[in-house]
Amino acid sequence: MNALKKLFGGNTRQFGMIFALVALIVFFQIFTEGRTLTPGNVINLFNGNSYILILAIGMVLVIIAGHIDLSVGSVAAFVGVFVALAMRDWGFPWWVGVLFGLFLGAVIGAWQGFWVAYVGIPAFIVTLAGMLLFRGFNQFVGKSNTIPVPKEFQFIGSGYLPEIGPNTGFNNLTVLIGLVAVAFVIIMSLRARAAAKALGAEVPELWVEVTKLVLICGAILYATYLFATGRPGTSFPIPGLILAVLVLIYGFIADKTVLGRHVYAVGGNRHAAELSGVQSKKVNFMVMMNMSILAGLAGMIFVARSTASGPFDGVVWELDAIAAVFIGGAAVTGGVGTVIGSIVGGLVMAVLNNGLQLLGVGADLTQIIKGLVLLAAVAFDVYNKSQGKRSITGMLMKNFQRNNEIQPQEATSTKEVISKEA
Amino acid sequence: MTSLDTQGDPILLEMRSITKEFPGVKALSNVSLRVMAGEIHAICGENGAGKSTLMKVLSGVYPYGSYTGDIVYQAETQQFKDIRASEAAGIVIIHQELALIPELSIMENIFLGNEPTKWGVIDWAEARKRSLELLARVGLRDDPDTPIKEIGVGKQQLVEIAKALNKSVKLLILDEPTAALNESDSQHLLDLILGLKGKGVTSIIISHKLNEIEQIADEITIIRDGKSIETLNVKRDGVDEDRIIKGMVGRTLESRFPDHEPKIGEVFFEVKDWTVGHPQIQDRLICKGSNFYVRRGEIVGFAGLMGAGRTELARSLFGHSYGRFIKGQVYKDGKPVNLRSVRAAIDAGLGYVTEDRKSLGLNLLDDIKTTTVAAALDKISNYTVVDTRKEFSVAEDYRKSLRTKTPSVEEGVAKLSGGNQQKVVLAKWMFTDPDLLILDEPTRGIDVGAKYEIYGIIQKLANQGKGVIVISSELPELLGLSDRIYTIFEGAITGVLDKNEADQESLMKLMTSARKSA
């Protein structure tokens, strides 16, 4: 267990979720008699969930900052219908349509961000209003009709990487991306290791690092293999590509930039952040605005995939996105969460959905199971925080938990200090 | 039922050698307290002396078993396991922060948790009848249906007492009951306590307002540094304010401060006519036209009792982060500066270490390195991308130079002890390289050894030519550390004393009266 813990780092939730994801995949692979890990199914899974995962990226930032956004489904639907309309009636080319959609998302986000950050209305209320508002706008603008979108536009929702180069039996671009990803992972972790060593920070043991790399690279290569060997004409899907780029960008922003730090700071302790010079209003405005831009993008991808926009697009997406974020380790009280965790959380839900479907489980049971999974994941988190109370599960899980107790340290005696000073 | 002391007076309560330890701190050590039935017993001591802790032990907030010593009440040894248990025995504590619910009515508040019922349904007729009686006893003529938020603090205090009377109180404990009250409300409250005494209610009163204590108390127990020093009988011993102050502060200064040779330069920071209003209450000022200055290399102390407006002054200066700014000007190096936001204040070279480390100073989810750089992220980032290597080495440097006890700078700040947390907070502000560092209660909740180290850090900062303002409730700390001390009383600066002319008694006088001496 200790070795496993070392492998996946100190974060129990993240570790637990990756573990759960792998276990789920293995479970379904066995019980669907191998129908889970087929190229067709995996591609399908990505295509069918990419928009939820994109929402989860924005949602995790909103939740880290201590808010919530209930309007994403409606915003996505409104942007989708407006863009479809603009392309049909105003003759926008597809790429202008995409830019227009992102702009629209930004305007909507600015509206919601204004109320949340500068007027101080809880995001729950603002976005609850937004949920009604933009659903209404969607049906008003689209007159509750379905509006088809042009072929070129459909590419962002249902396109694949093209076939280029020699015929290798694989999709060459997909293979290339897979290899680049593997190289990237190896180089980054080696660099991080070297840097930590140079600074004298704690470095995990070599075998831990190597095993970790082998596992990650193996997973990437296997996924590459699946994507590259689909039926002719399919390969790594474009929505998946967009998602991957977004994960890289947002992961970087959250982890490495001043803005990202500020989001965590505001969510962790708003007063302390303000007294450290963080402009919390600006931060809140930015995360709300960003969420709506991503919602707009998700809406467009969905419309592109389903070849037309409709009055009921994006219904209950907000719930799927929020569930993904919480399963992925974010805290209800803010300040905690990661982009990659939310993606894993989203994938857990997606695999569950997909696997149950393959097994022929009805929508009713599927919902019940998903509900229980969400509850269990968050209960695990809450339990982790309120340690100290002994329970049987607590004893059993003791080794899993990060030690959160606040330990008062031994007091320094004055004499000791004075002697050190001398 | 009741035992008698040597003079034949009945003893209601006796607390014998109470010792209460918190991790790293001995809050109470061998404290004894004896309260006669039917008297008003005052407990005096400086902030942090252990008065409130003692009352929390008595009322069961700290349950039996978490302290050592005996509580003998009505001639029986008591083992209160929570507040309900002590209330059942007739001991009711009224805290400084009133425990009333603003949205509920007077009547609902009086009976909260204690509602009269008939067949499981609240009997409002009975409640109304009883609340009218209770309100009459405390001299409050308001309608019992008035919401609490619509009556003033003075009346709220009376509602608290009515609530206590409803619990058939025998021993009433009042923690700073008049701190938030004006003159006439205070007088009314004191009269009421005297009236209750006539009806057989014994009271323990904790107060900083010594004139009030002199006026109503029969006996005074003085607590200092967690020890009970003496019990004075007001009539017999002829006690006056000076006598109480002497008891409160009469401690010898050991060598608790590192040696320090101040190198004081010219005035570089000046505040003129600083006036700030209360954030919620119109017409109430929390800073009343304060003027002060700080010289380079100088450690300036700010002395004042809790609620005097020290923190409010500091926070209103630091980016207007508290209260409504009304007027005033800050000059730095002779030029007026505008500190309208925290960012502007930091950029102007100010740093502020808050008194409330956990809720205002730290993000307890963060680790040490993230916290260390949190107020000066631009210093370790290129084009807004944080250089995590620089972050680590900065944090590591401060860990070494401040001797923060931690296995690694990647440890969460929540896991550190108070002293080490404070060092991390100090590191955070030192890294912003301020010219003026305001330290609000820099050693609160910190053990003696760590205090000594923090004093050393403060002196080192001053030696680098920075100005340091230290706000503290502990007078010995201010006397040992500062080169000059301002006193604050009710939002106004009442005086300034040089290191060599200040002592605890002169400070305490300026801190407890509006007398102008500067």
State pLDDT tens for residues A30-88: 998 888 888 889 998 988 899 999 999 999 999 999 999 999 999 999 999 999 999 99
State pLDDT tens for residues A346-388: 999 999 999 999 999 988 999 999 899 888 877 876 776 665 3
The whole-number pLDDT of residue A12 equals 56
C-alpha to C-alpha distance for B295 and B284, rounded to whole angstroms: 31
Distance in Å, alpha carbon of B99 to nearest chain A alpha carbon: 24
Structural contact between residues A227 and A175, judged by C-beta atoms closer than 8 angstroms: no
Q: Which residues of A touch B360 (CB under 8 A)?
A: 269, 271-272, 275
C-alpha to C-alpha distance for B147 and B143, rounded to whole angstroms: 9
Residue B77 CA, distance from chain mean position: 31
Interchain contact A273–B (C-beta under 8 A):
yes
The whole-number pLDDT of residue B7 equals 56
Hey, are the CB atoms on B360 and A335 less than 8 Å from each other? no
Burial pattern A343-364, b for ≥16 Cβ within 10 A else e, equals bbbbbbbbbbbbbbebeeeeee
Q: Which residues of A touch B354 (CB under 8 A)?
A: 275
The whole-number pLDDT of residue A403 equals 36
Instruction: List the 392-411 stretch of A: residues with Cβ below 8 A of B.
Output: 404-411
Query: Looking up tokens 């005494």, which residue turns up?
Result: B197
C-alpha to C-alpha distance for A276 and B428, rounded to whole angstroms: 9
The whole-number pLDDT of residue A209 equals 82
Structural contact between residues B407 and B431, judged by C-beta atoms closer than 8 angstroms: no
* ipTM of the shown complex: 0.76
Hey, are the CB atoms on B396 and A199 less than 8 Å from each other? yes
B466, B414, B463, B423: which is closest to B443 by C-alpha? B423
Hey, are the CB atoms on A412 and B384 less than 8 Å from each other? no
Output the six-digit token pair for A252.
């970087």
C-alpha to C-alpha distance for B316 and B273, rounded to whole angstroms: 13
Q: How far is CA A410 from each of CA B53, B163, B379, rounded to the nearest angstrom?
A: 22, 43, 34
Low-confidence spans in chain B with pLDDT less than 50:
1-2, 252-253, 515-518
The whole-number pLDDT of residue B466 equals 92
Structural contact between residues B487 and B496, judged by C-beta atoms closer than 8 angstroms: yes
Residue B258, φ and ψ in degrees, nearest 5: -65, 150
Helix A339-358 vs helix A317-327: angle between axes, to the nearest 10 degrees? 120
Compare CB distances from A276 to B374, B403, B416 and report the shortest one's residue.
B374
Interchain contact A420–B (C-beta under 8 A):
yes
A303, A384, A409, A326: which is closest to A80 by C-alpha? A303
C-alpha to C-alpha distance for B489 and B179, rounded to whole angstroms: 12
C-alpha to C-alpha distance for A114 and A111, rounded to whole angstroms: 5
- Which residues, including other chains, have CB under 8 Å from residue A402's CB and lie 6 or more apart? A10, A11, A12, A384
A355, A366, A377, A354: which is closest to A49 by C-alpha? A354
Compare CB distances from B362 to A269, A407, A420 and report the shortest one's residue.
A269
- Tens digit of pLDDT at every position of chain A (422 positions): 455 555 555 455 566 678 888 888 999 999 988 888 888 899 989 888 999 999 999 999 999 999 999 999 999 999 999 999 999 999 999 999 999 999 999 999 999 999 999 999 999 999 999 999 999 999 999 998 999 999 999 999 888 888 887 888 888 889 999 999 999 999 988 888 888 888 777 777 788 888 888 988 999 999 999 898 888 878 889 999 999 999 999 999 998 899 999 999 999 999 999 999 899 999 999 999 999 999 999 999 999 999 999 899 999 999 999 999 998 888 888 898 999 989 999 999 999 999 999 999 988 999 999 899 888 877 876 776 665 333 333 333 333 333 333 333 333 333 333 333 33
Interchain contact A52–B (C-beta under 8 A):
no
Hey, are the CB atoms on B363 and A272 less than 8 Å from each other? yes
Hey, are the CB atoms on B408 and A195 less than 8 Å from each other? no
As beta bridge partners, residue B493 has B488
Interchain contact A421–B (C-beta under 8 A):
yes
Hey, are the CB atoms on B24 and A264 less than 8 Å from each other? no
As beta bridge partners, residue B76 has B73
C-alpha to C-alpha distance for B213 and B200, rounded to whole angstroms: 19
Distance in Å, alpha carbon of A194 to nearest chain B alpha carbon: 11
Structural contact between residues B299 and B478, judged by C-beta atoms closer than 8 angstroms: no
Comparing alpha-carbon positions, the chain B residue that sits nearest to A279 is B343
Q: Which residues of A touch B362 (CB under 8 A)?
A: 269, 272
Hey, are the CB atoms on A257 and B24 less than 8 Å from each other? no
Q: Side chain identity at B416, as an amino acid letter?
A: L
Compare CB distances from B392 to A199, A407, A416 and report the shortest one's residue.
A199
Distance in Å, alpha carbon of A410 to nearest chain B alpha carbon: 7
Q: Which residues of A touch B321 (CB under 8 A)?
A: 274-275
Comparing alpha-carbon positions, the chain A residue that sits nearest to B361 is A272
Which residue pairs, CB below 8 angstroms and at least 24 apart, start in A381-386?
A381/A13, A381/A326, A381/A329, A381/A331, A384/A12, A384/A13
C-alpha to C-alpha distance for B16 and B378, rounded to whole angstroms: 57
As beta bridge partners, residue B486 has B302, B496
At B17 the three-state DSSP class reads strand
Interchain contact A279–B (C-beta under 8 A):
yes
The whole-number pLDDT of residue B309 equals 85
SS3 letters across A37-55: CCHHHHHHHHHHHHHHHHH
Structural contact between residues B164 and B114, judged by C-beta atoms closer than 8 angstroms: no
The whole-number pLDDT of residue B150 equals 84
Q: Which residues of B touch A264 (CB under 8 A)?
A: 363, 365-366
- Identify the residue among A261, A262, A274, A275 best suited for mutation to test binding to B, counting B beta carbons within 10 A and taking the highest: A275
Residue B468 CA, distance from chain mean position: 22
Q: Which residues of B touch A262 (CB under 8 A)?
A: 377
C-alpha to C-alpha distance for A278 and A266, rounded to whole angstroms: 8
C-alpha to C-alpha distance for B470 and B457, rounded to whole angstroms: 12
C-alpha to C-alpha distance for B508 and B496, rounded to whole angstroms: 12
The whole-number pLDDT of residue A321 equals 95
SS3 letters across chain A: CHHHHHHHCCCHHHHHHHHHHHHHHHHHHHHCCCCCCCHHHHHHHHHHHHHHHHHHHHHHHHHHCCCCCCCHHHHHHHHHHHHHHHHHHCCCCHHHHHHHHHHHHHHHHHHHHHHHHHHCCCHHHHHHHHHHHHHHHHHHHCCCCCEECCHHHHHHHHCECCCCCCCCCCCHHHHHHHHHHHHHHHHHHHHHHHHHHHHCCCCCCHHHHHHHHHHHHHHHHHHHHHHHCCCCCCCCEHHHHHHHHHHHHHHHHHHHEHHHHHHHHHHHCHHHHHCCCCCHHHHHHHHHHHHHHHHHHHHHHHHHHCCEECCCCCCCHHHHHHHHHHHCCCCCCCCCCCHHHHHHHHHHHHHHHHHHHHCCCCHHHHHHHHHHHHHHHHHHHHHHHCCCCCCHHHHHCHHHCCCCCCCCCCCCCHHHHHHHHC
Interchain contact A265–B (C-beta under 8 A):
yes
Comparing alpha-carbon positions, the chain B residue that sits nearest to A277 is B343
Interchain contact A269–B (C-beta under 8 A):
yes
Comparing alpha-carbon positions, the chain B residue that sits nearest to A266 is B363
Distance in Å, alpha carbon of A415 to nearest chain B alpha carbon: 8
Output the six-digit token pair for B460.
């080192």
Structural contact between residues A182 and A221, judged by C-beta atoms closer than 8 angstroms: yes
Q: Which residues of B touch A420 (CB under 8 A)?
A: 403
Hey, are the CB atoms on A412 and B416 less than 8 Å from each other? no
- Which residues, including other chains, have CB under 8 Å from residue A328's CB and lie 6 or more apart? A13, A14, A17, A56, A60, A337, A338, A340, A341, A342, A343, A344, A345, A346
Q: What topology does CATH give the domain A2-159+237-421? A: ABC transporter involved in vitamin B12 uptake, BtuC (1.10.3470)
Hey, are the CB atoms on B375 and A277 less than 8 Å from each other? yes
- Between chain A and chain B, how many beta carbons pairs sit less than 8 Å apart? 127
Hey, are the CB atoms on A418 and B452 less than 8 Å from each other? yes
C-alpha to C-alpha distance for A281 and A262, rounded to whole angstroms: 11
Q: Side chain identity at A148, as an amino acid letter?
A: P
The whole-number pLDDT of residue A290 equals 97
Hey, are the CB atoms on B361 and A417 less than 8 Å from each other? no
Hey, are the CB atoms on B449 and A258 less than 8 Å from each other? no
Residue A162 CA, distance from chain mean position: 26
- Identify the residue among B253, B320, B365, B389 best suited for mutation to test binding to A, counting A beta carbons within 10 A and taking the highest: B365
Hey, are the CB atoms on B23 and A404 less than 8 Å from each other? no
Hey, are the CB atoms on A275 and B428 less than 8 Å from each other? no
Output the six-digit token pair for B59.
């009322």
